[in-house]
Structure 1
Amino acid sequence: MPATATGRRALFACLVLVTALGALDQTIVATALPEIVAELGAPSRVSWIVTAYALALTAAMPAAGALGDRFGHRRVLVCSIAVFVAASTACGFAGDVGFLAAARLVQGLGGAGLLVLPQAVVAGAVPARERAAFLGPLGAVYAVATVAGPLLGGWLTDATSWRWIFWLNLPLGAAAAALVLTAVPADHGRDERTRFDTTGAVLLAAAATGLVLVTTAVAETGWNPATTTGTALTVVAAAVALGWERRAANPVLPVGLLRDRTVLLCCLLALLGGMGLFGVLAYVPTWVQEVYDTSATTSGLLLLPITAGIVAGVNASGFAVRRWGSWRPFPIAGCALSGGAAAALALLDGAPLPVVAALLALLGLGTGSFMQLLVVVAQDAGGARVAGAVTAGLAFVRETGVTVGAAVLGALVARAAGGSYAPVFTATAGCFALGLVCALALPAERLESES
């Protein structure tokens, strides 16, 4: 742990910048896609610019956490920044969509480390009870960066060129690497002579790749023989990967920890929260534009109440846990609040926009109050030795929820076009209802002042 308050502040500033870099690039290209198509052509393949980053990010998360546990989180984080910056440079010089998508794939590999390892660094530097307050703002940064990405991307594209969306990462990445080397405590990881679970990493990456490809295809074309076959192959790949990880001596994803009730329930809550909140986030602007006949700018502004709710939730729960140590009430109350807000949105379909904004803020507040807290609780239950793997596992499960939720809700949105969006919010409320069941099953434990 940093010995002084100055050291703690430097560590926090470092991890905020690193997290923002990884989160921004998930959404920053969205508003630049028309300009990219106008310059590079190939409109039929432009979706791969977005999908390639998401695919690599999800697939590489387990490996990033395991590598950090083995070789040291600081060392692997610096390498992740280097890969991210190098790929960003290549993205900026892309001459066709195929090269840009390939560079985005590599950028996502580095981005996985940027999103997973900061939380693992905190696990080794901050006591468990204080960790919730320390990680809370990082969760808020992730939420704000995800929503702000399209706005920043649009501004950079209009003011300069879409290429600066990627070149901006060069000075920011250099600053992040310098901060990591000076502010993050050195850790040496486990015995580097142990064999890395390469087979497990490849199998998990294959399963994650199949999930992203299948859900994207189903959202675009619906169910057909090709998507059905792809789904079956993905299920088989996931079963093989989990079976391998159960038997591996040093698994990339320690599925054996799921025998711990707390870790298992945290993973289920992360999955359901990802499906419920981040799934619906993708479709709020479309919903507002279609139902309320607003401009794109106004519909985008309806994301701000959700973001404000998330920021308030992660910070309030973090500081409360630091003071009292008790954490179980937050996932219970959070799931109930988010589920109630989603149900109200379904029942009050077509309500005035101020009412909609208030309900969206409650949806964000409820989910924000427990999503980041799950990381701290699972880290504490799993132990410091596998903090990176546990953190990566939760992030992997959450991103899986986001992917599946976006696909399922996307199918409901397609059916709702020109009609009621109530089924979308009903499905969201169902996710949080299941989450409430999981939250009620959590043990009534406390986080102590020391790790």
Structure 2
Amino acid sequence: MSLSPLRLRLLVASLLTVSILGALDHTIVATSLATVAGELGALEQMGWVVVGYTLASTVLLPVLGKVGDLVGPRLVFLASLVVFLVASLACGFAQDMTQLVIARVAQGMSSAGLHLMSQTIVAHVTTPRDRPKYMSIIGAAFPIAILVGPVLGGAITDYWGWPWVFWINLPFGLAALALAAFAIPHIEPGARRRFDVAGSIVFTLSFVALVLAVTWIGDPAAVTAALVAFVLAAIGFAAFFAIELRVPEPIVPLRWFADRTVAAGVALSAIIGVGLFSVTAYLPTYFQMAYRTTATVSGLVPIATVFGMLVSNLATGWLVSRTGHYRVYPIAGTALGAVGLLAMALLPVGTPLWVPMAVMAVVGIGTGAFMSLVVAVVQGAVPRSETGTITATVNLVRQFGSTVATAVIGGVIGVGVAAALPAGLDASTLTPQLVQQSTPTVQAEVAQLYGGLFVPVFLALAVTYALGIVAAVLLPAGQLSDELEPAAEPTEPTTDPASEPLTA
């Protein structure tokens, strides 16, 4: 579907605005969380404000991807935006934590639709050649949100009050809604097909059980419940895969994994979640404890990482759209990530801070080189009638990998600190401020402890990126097509489409 240049610009502006709002809603709340919990008198339930949002936005990805293919992405996008704005209003008016969590769940559900349909709409209105450029613009929302979200959230909370953390979405969201209603064209949905109700229910229950398990596993009082949840999740996912192999219209199309482009692209997307997204949350703690920096200074390393990701993401999208060649960027990107994380494992504690900043910036540059690109490439490997479904699958594995890897890293750090902490310090009450007030000997022991704990973490993530090099090499070589036409349905696994141009 071809759009005029003006309408395409308005469309991209609308999608970018909404994507930034959805991404900001995940990062902007973090700074105000303690204030919100304190004023609502429910500090022990604080984590559910984040968990509820993340859980809802993840479990609905495959469901909304299939719905978008069945009824058209325009309807799902506009409906999601309306729900997002209503939920934002409800968050600000919440009188207790229960109301806030319910509204946040609604926000998370609608955020999934906004993020997913933005990518799906771009796929429908652009050629495979132009798609990486526009996909990288939409994909810039995530690093922008990480860079400005915490500062913006703190400023709004301090000067306007925490409800405005949510209400700030309304003016920008309404403007984006007006633009989207005009700019998003009607996209003909696929033929009416049977919806995979059983797969949707089983997947949702299984993922909820998994998230509860990884949330509870760090609490000694909830270990039994966590193990039960892990077992239920394992049984549920086994049943889910059995269902998906049998139903005619699965929400996760496993048959497409026989295509080399899809399989390699999905693997690369998972590596981003496991290899980088999982560790960024722990970097400030690592530098506060191991390098004995302040909280403000410790944030410089993740900022350098995300800035590198942002620049690389935009540059790669522009370059691929100019040349049509894409395979070199995932290969180079995963190699940079592996080398950078290996260097982090080898860096001695106490190295000048600019060194790990530069190293993690390299990891960010490597990740940004294929972060949005793999979505565009995979979309071009399937028929247009399944664009939403395959886009959801790519995003789902990234979220899934990030969720599981984050829990594993958190568990490794928690167990390691509790087992080797110097006498006189309690792991349950350990803070950077407490360590900095201790004797130089204790500070040195804690720094050595954290430095030692993160070495295997960085090594494992380096290995993850090294596996990504293999996945990137397996991507078929070729050139993205300039033509906007559907790809053919494969009747059997792809043998070697290396010389075939990708189409959408």
The answer, yes or no, to whether TM exceeds 0.5 is yes
Which residue identity does 1:217 align to in structure 2?
W
SS at match of 1:271: helix
Which residue identity does 1:38 align to in structure 2?
G
416 and 291 in structure 1: CA distance in 2 versus 1, 3 angstrom threshold: farther
Question: 1:249 maps to what in 2?
Answer: 248
1:266-311 CA-to-partner distances (Å, cap 9, x unmatched) read: 1111112111110111111111111222222222232221111111
Give 5+ residue unaligned stretches, structure 1.
none
Q: Post-superposition shift, 1:145?
A: 1.0
SS at match of 2:381: helix
The percent identity for this pair of structures is 40
Q: Post-superposition shift, 1:224?
A: 3.2
Which residue identity does 1:271 align to in structure 2?
A
Q: Which moved more, 1:285-294 or 1:127-136?
A: 285-294
Which residue identity does 2:381 align to in structure 1?
A
RMSD: 1.6
Give 5+ residue unaligned stretches, structure 2.
418-445, 485-504
Question: 2:358 maps to what in 1?
Answer: 358
SS at match of 2:60: helix
Preserved contact between residue 83 and residue 110 of structure 1 (Cα < 8 Å): yes
Question: 2:34 maps to what in 1?
Answer: 34
SS at match of 1:188: coil
Question: 2:469 maps to what in 1?
Answer: 436
Q: Post-superposition shift, 1:191?
A: 2.9
How many Å separate the matches in 2 of 1:70 and 1:59? 18
Q: Based on CA coordinates, which of the two structures has the bigger radius of gyration?
A: 2
How many Å separate the matches in 2 of 1:322 and 1:9? 16
Which residue identity does 1:191 align to in structure 2?
A
SS at match of 1:345: helix
Q: Post-superposition shift, 1:221?
A: 4.6
How many Å separate the matches in 2 of 1:326 and 1:375? 15
Q: Which moved more, 1:140-149 or 1:221-230?
A: 221-230
Q: Post-superposition shift, 1:226?
A: 2.4
Structure with the higher helix share, 1 or 2: 1
Question: 1:126 maps to what in 2?
Answer: 126
Q: Post-superposition shift, 1:445?
A: 2.5
| Counterparts of residues 291-330 of structure 1 (less than 5 Å) | 291-330=290-329
Number of residue pairs the alignment of both structures matches = 450
1:321-340 CA-to-partner distances (Å, cap 9, x unmatched) read: 11221211111111110110
SS at match of 2:475: coil
How many Å separate the matches in 2 of 1:95 and 1:304? 34
Preserved contact between residue 27 and residue 147 of structure 1 (Cα < 8 Å): no
Question: 1:425 maps to what in 2?
Answer: 458
Q: Post-superposition shift, 1:413?
A: 2.7
SS at match of 1:224: helix
Preserved contact between residue 143 and residue 307 of structure 2 (Cα < 8 Å): no
How many Å separate the matches in 2 of 1:55 and 1:365? 28
SS at match of 1:128: coil
Preserved contact between residue 337 and residue 363 of structure 1 (Cα < 8 Å): yes
Which residue identity does 1:148 align to in structure 2?
V
SS at match of 1:371: coil
| Counterparts of residues 182-261 of structure 1 (less than 5 Å) | 182-192=182-192, 194-221=193-220, 224-261=223-260
Q: Post-superposition shift, 1:219?
A: 4.2
Question: 1:162 maps to what in 2?
Answer: 162
1:78-99 CA-to-partner distances (Å, cap 9, x unmatched) read: 0001111111111111111111
Question: 2:431 maps to what in 1?
Answer: none
Q: Structure 2 length normalisation: TM-score?
A: 0.86
SS at match of 2:480: coil
Q: Post-superposition shift, 1:102?
A: 1.4
Preserved contact between residue 72 and residue 187 of structure 1 (Cα < 8 Å): yes
Which residue identity does 2:202 align to in structure 1?
L
Question: 2:106 maps to what in 1?
Answer: 106
Does residue 1:446 correspond to 2:476, yes or no? no
Q: Post-superposition shift, 1:423?
A: 2.1
Q: Post-superposition shift, 1:344?
A: 0.2
How many Å separate the matches in 2 of 1:21 and 1:198? 30
Q: Post-superposition shift, 1:223?
A: 8.8
Preserved contact between residue 216 and residue 223 of structure 2 (Cα < 8 Å): no
Preserved contact between residue 147 and residue 306 of structure 2 (Cα < 8 Å): yes
Q: Post-superposition shift, 1:22?
A: 1.3
How many Å separate the matches in 2 of 1:124 and 1:5? 15
How many Å separate the matches in 1 of 2:389 and 2:330? 22
